[in-house]
Structure 1
Amino acid sequence: MSTGALQAATAALAAEHAAVYGYGVVGGRIDAARRAEAAAAHDAHRARRDALARMVRDLGGKPRAAEAAYALPFAVPDSASAVRLATVLEDRIAAVYADLVRASRGALAREAAGTLRDAAVRAARWRGTGVAFPGLAERA
């Protein structure tokens, strides 16, 4: 497998660590009506994080551990800002998986594309609408 695939998988792992942390914040601020949705997203990112750690090892790399804390892009004092944070997290995840799709081939590329799709669907649910090119639009 290419060095590019390892670098992209390592970046995706770092993004998943940040998403797990971020969803901890989301879960603490989100309204009860959307708490199950936030918990499901948190669980999905934990599972992806664990799978990516294995993938990085399989690609010959050493997975990095999560940071103790991550800087949030803005303050999250209420449910509305928690929804905004969840949207940002999913957009960021889509972007790193778009990179992994570009850097990989075969089963790894298909798996990354599926994860990009999942992030785009979650982002659309949080945002209330989708974007034309998930994983790419966030970079404009």
Structure 2
Amino acid sequence: MSDPRRRQQTQPGPEQQALLDALAAENAAVYAYGIVGAFSNPDRGDMIAAASAAHRARRDATIDALSAASIVAPEPPAGYTVPFPVTDPTTAVQLAVQAESDTAVAWRSVIERSQSDHTRGTGIDALTETALRLADWRTILGTTPPTVPFPGAPQK
């Protein structure tokens, strides 16, 4: 007997694969912001909560978009390995920069690989949001300039 809740899954095309990659980046960002919150200065709590909520909302919307395309979104891993030890407020901000940089790369890829105006627009909105958060975190670190010319593009 088959489970009526399971739908036939389609093979992802380039656009759906880009969304799956963006979903993976969003899941990692949600996890990273948990660590960022644990080690950050308390006065950054609202900023961290807003960023985390934005990534959760983007994750949920991406799952919905994949579901509409008959693609089953994979469950996120139980945990992630962070790229460096996070032990204080400075390394916490560096992790936030890394999370935003990674999501920028993923959403730029969605824009490049999208085949529909709707998905392209979603990618542009997501890339814009993550680029703004990235600039905020880079400002806190004192990085000059706080913005990059093409967010999500390979840096030279």
TM-score range, shorter chain: over 0.9
Identify the residue that residue 53 of structure 1 maps to in structure 2. 63
1:127 to 121, 138, 153: 138
SS of residue in 2 equivalent to 1:76 = coil
TM-score when scaled to structure 1?
0.95
Q: Which is richer in helix?
A: 1
Q: Does 1:41 align with 2:51?
A: yes
- Unaligned ranges ≥5, structure 2: 1-11, 140-145
Contact 1:5 1:103 in 2 (8 A): yes
Q: What's the CA shift for 1:59? A: 1.9
Percent of matched pairs sharing the same residue:
36
How large is the RMSD of aligned CA atoms in angstroms? Answer: 1.1
Letter paired with 2:126: T
1:63 to 42, 54, 73: 73
Q: What's the CA shift for 1:112? A: 0.8
Alignment of 1:55-134 (within 5 A): 55-104=65-114, 105-128=116-139, 129-134=146-151
Of structures 1 and 2, the larger Rg is shown by 2
Structure 1 Cα separation of the partners of residues 15 and 58 of structure 2: 16
- Unaligned ranges ≥5, structure 1: none
Structure 2 Cα separation of the partners of residues 119 and 137 of structure 1: 16
Deviates most, 58-67 or 75-84: 58-67
SS of residue in 1 equivalent to 2:85 = coil
Q: What's the CA shift for 1:137? A: 3.6
Q: What's the CA shift for 1:103? A: 1.1
Structure 1 Cα separation of the partners of residues 133 and 106 of structure 2: 15
Q: What's the CA shift for 1:75? A: 0.5
1:52-104 deviations in Å (ceiling 9; x for gaps): 11111112211011110001010000100000000110010000000001111
Q: Does 1:21 align with 2:31?
A: yes
TM-score when scaled to structure 2?
0.85
SS of residue in 2 equivalent to 1:67 = coil
